[in-house]
Amino acid sequence: MKYLLIIIFLLSGCTSTTKTSKVDGNVTLITGRKKTKVTTDENGELLVYISRRDARKFNANGVIRYSDFGALGDGKTDDIDAIAATHAFANLHGLIVKADEGATYYIGGKDRTAIIQANTDFGTAQFIIDDTGVENINSYVFMVSSPKQAEKVPGISSLKRNQEKLDISLPGPALVTVTDSTTMRYIRFGRNQNNGHPQTDIFIVDKNGNVDMDAPIVWDFDQITSITALPIDETPLTLTGGHFTTIANQAESKYNYHSRGIAIRRSNVVVDGVEHHTTGEGDHGAPYRGFLNIADCAYVTVQNTILTGRKMYRTIGSAGLPVSMGSYDISVNRALNVSFINCSQTNDINDNTYWGIMGSNYSKNLVYDNCILSRFDAHMGVANATIRNSTLGHQGINAIGTGTLILENSTIYGRTLINLRQDYGSTWEGEFHIRNCVFVPSGGRPVSASLIGGFNSGQHDFGYTCHMPQTIIIENLEIDDSNHPEDYQGPAIFTNFNPQMTDETYVEEFPYIITKEVILKNVTTTSGKPLQVSSNMFMFRDVKVIRD
């Protein structure tokens, strides 16, 4: 009996020293007597064994490295399991993750995402992301996330545009996302036509329900089918360094978007000094959703970062006609207060074999500052955008949205200074402020230059009333139109938005609201030719142009 009690005691002692934690959905951490190692179970989920000695050492250091969990960093062995395990342990214990200096981590196509919830320094390490055989094209390599979870917001059945307060009480500031699935907006026109998307908005409230009016509610919601509040992380999380190279996929050229890279789904994040390259792009391939994919968050800064434009491939669009597919290294969706500072790209910003580097939807307060990139773009609307001290390449500025678009101290090489996307009605309900800029139409090719481009026939229902900017202020603009066609009459403020609208007999089923006022101060042309209003003077007959 005495020996039986001793055995029971010893067994219970061994069991009590083993600690099991289920983290990140598909990672189990087991701390105990076993040697530190990473393995997988029959379902492919990670089982991470950590010796108690190693656990004490990691926690005492406050820093953990990929090699601590078996990453070889030899550029050949797939290290994604070790990388994911390292982040899982760091997330649980609040440790800093550092890549091993000089390591080259190979990451194959396994369906495994490393969840980042703690500061991470990729340092001088290189990461090879091989997309030639991806198990799950929707599986990001890294996911910056928050342990906080979105909660349903009770008691809110409707909202009004520019509403200042919600009748709710929260533990702290939160990101509110609201949807009315019975109302369709952004009913796309053209070769990628569609039936629209449910009305969506995203905004910030404080703990008392006060809306941050720097990013106001932009729609009336007569009914709400979903409304959630995601607490905002108040402590910054940083990602620094790292040299990433994507070996491009060899998939069929069709709209089969690959989500490979770094996804950011947490508020208050700084990405600093990341570098991304691409290799292996051939004569076909599927498009990408963005190496940096920022969504459902606020207060994100990407700085001192080098990215790469993706090769442009063609397919058949929804209208049954050939289209060029958008493929991105930067994607921003349902995100607020996102800034790109001192960012550039590896390839020529004026090389039109590469798609424009950035695309965004449902976002507010987007900023480029001191960037050299091929494009700024807002697909399904942006509320407020600022581009300053920057140079934009062949795809220039493409936007629709609301609020104020500020363009200052920048050089633009696009076909127009600002293009209002015609597939979404060329709509901007607000103002343009343009100052101290240089515009080189179509990168210097011989074209008839226009400052504001777009098209709206007035015959398509986009799901909203389409507007041109109510007021456009242009101050100190140099138009380099030295290379131009023989019949060139001079640059125009507006391109011909509707060639069929030439007199009063033309009837718009869905009227397009035209700009009221343009204020010009010190606008010069290299050609010496005067700035015209438009080649379609009837359409813009009521625009008041004030010249200094």
pLDDT per residue as tens digits for the range 146-203: 999 999 999 999 999 999 999 999 999 999 999 999 999 999 999 999 999 999 999 9
Q: How far is CA 359 from CA 172, 399, 544, in A?
A: 31, 10, 33
Is there a domain that residue 475 lies in?
yes
From CA 33, how far away is CA 49, in angstroms rounded? Answer: 9
pLDDT at position 343 over 90: yes
Is there a domain that residue 459 lies in?
yes
Q: How many Cα atoms sit within 13 Å of 196 on the Cβ side?
A: 17
User: What confidence score (pLDDT) does residue 25 get?
Assistant: 65
Mean pLDDT for 131-147 is: 96
Domain boundary among 107, 130, 153: 130
Q: How far is CA 510 from CA 325, 462, 497, 515, in A?
A: 29, 9, 14, 16
User: What confidence score (pLDDT) does residue 4 get?
Assistant: 37
User: What confidence score (pLDDT) does residue 288 get?
Assistant: 97
Mean pLDDT for 20-28 is: 77
User: What confidence score (pLDDT) does residue 417 get?
Assistant: 98
User: What confidence score (pLDDT) does residue 17 get?
Assistant: 62
Burial of 53 (0-12, 13-18, 19+ CB in 10 A): exposed
Residues in a beta bridge with 408: 388, 435
Mean pLDDT for 296-317 is: 96
Mean pLDDT for 290-307 is: 98
pLDDT at position 26 over 90: no
Domain boundary among 109, 130, 151: 130
**CB count in 10 Å sphere of residue 511:** 11
Q: What is the pLDDT of residues 372-408, one digit of tens each?
A: 999 999 999 999 999 999 999 999 999 999 999 999 9
pLDDT at position 10 over 80: no
Is there a domain that residue 509 lies in?
yes
Is there a domain that residue 31 lies in?
yes
pLDDT at position 6 over 80: no
Is the entire prediction scored with pTM above 0.85? yes
Is there a domain that residue 161 lies in?
no
* Residues 30, 34, 38, 42, CA torsion sign: negative
User: What confidence score (pLDDT) does residue 376 get?
Assistant: 98
* Residues 69, 73, 76, 81, CA torsion sign: positive
| 44 — pLDDT class (breaks 50, 70, 90) | confident
pLDDT at position 227 over 60: yes
User: What confidence score (pLDDT) does residue 185 get?
Assistant: 98
Mean pLDDT for 325-345 is: 97
Element (H, E) at 60: helix 52-61
pLDDT at position 467 over 70: yes
| Domain count of the fold of the chain | 2
Mean pLDDT for 233-245 is: 97
Is there a domain that residue 317 lies in?
no
Mean pLDDT for 222-242 is: 97
Q: How many Cα atoms sit within 13 Å of 490 on the Cβ side?
A: 11
pLDDT at position 302 over 60: yes
Is there a domain that residue 162 lies in?
no
User: What confidence score (pLDDT) does residue 429 get?
Assistant: 98
3-state secondary structure of 63: strand
pLDDT at position 14 over 50: no
When the pLDDT of each residue in the chain is averaged and rounded to a whole number, the result is 94
Domain boundary among 106, 130, 154: 130
From CA 42, how far away is CA 38, in angstroms rounded? Answer: 14
User: What confidence score (pLDDT) does residue 548 get?
Assistant: 81
Mean pLDDT for 247-257 is: 95
Is there a domain that residue 395 lies in?
no
From 462, 482, 474, 399, select the one nearest 437 (Cα to Cα).
Answer: 474
Q: Residue 35 gets which letter from DSSP?
A: P
User: What confidence score (pLDDT) does residue 487 get?
Assistant: 87
User: What confidence score (pLDDT) does residue 9 get?
Assistant: 35
Q: How far is CA 420 from the centre of its chain?
A: 19
User: What confidence score (pLDDT) does residue 19 get?
Assistant: 75
* Structural domain harbouring 85: 19-130
Alpha-carbon torsion, ordered 43, 46, 47, 48, to 10 deg: 180
